Amino acid sequence: MQEHPPPLPSWVLPIIKPGDHVETDQAALDASIQLAYESAKNQGGPFGAILTDAENRVISVGWNRVIEASDSTAHAEIEAIRNAQIRTETHNLSKPPNVPFTLYVSCEPCVMCFGAIYWSGLTRVVAAATAQQAEAIGFDEGPVTSGMWEAAKENKGIRFEHGTPTLDPQKPLQLYHANQGEIY
């Protein structure tokens, strides 16, 4: 029997929730940045993610819960993927009917999240901030290379791209840094 995803905290609901529609890549990226910003304001890490289906319907959201959950794997992307798979009752997000799934992230995925994406079945990742912008405040993205994303495209049909949000994707990172948040 599948567990239900945990209920969303009240600060998430005004930003976005499962069942909402995001009309454009830009709107989805902006929401991921808002999630990252509000997460940083609410004791979370400054990263957000939104997973949508083929109809631009939000299936799940995620934010960095590493410290709160005492879990080094609780990155935004992994939280979103896990909750989407619970909600759709499949470990494989390449299975019809609602494919393809897209993951929108406030910042480029780290090496661990690259691995989670690789095995998830989703086939498109759109990022706002660059790895360099996260590393500029001390976060470590691990050894992700462009060759890895090329292999993901070739082997699994996963397209990785940078989008153009209207919000500044560095704001959550800067807020976290200004608040002297723990770096991990």
Binding site for Zn ion (CB under 5 A): 75, 110, 112-113
H helix or E strand, kind and range, residue 181? none
CB nearer Zn ion, residue 16 or residue 105: 105
- Looking from the CA of 70 toward its CB, the CA atoms found within 13 Å total 0
User: Parallel, antiparallel, or unpaired: how do β-strands 102-107 and 124-129 relate?
Assistant: parallel
Q: How far is the CB of 161 from Zn ion (least distance, A)?
A: 17
> Are 17 and 90 contacting, i.e. CB atoms less than 8 angstroms apart?
no
The one-character DSSP state at 2 is P
CB nearer Zn ion, residue 101 or residue 139: 139
* Count of CB atoms situated within 10 Å of the CB of 179: 11
Q: How far is the CB of 142 from Zn ion (least distance, A)?
A: 8
CB nearer Zn ion, residue 113 or residue 128: 113
Residue in 77, 79, 108, 141 annotated catalytic: 77
Residue 77 annotated to the active site: yes
Estimate to the nearest angstrom the gap between the alpha carbon of 136 and the chain centroid: 19
Q: How far is the CB of 112 from Zn ion (least distance, A)?
A: 5
Catalogue the active-site residues: 77
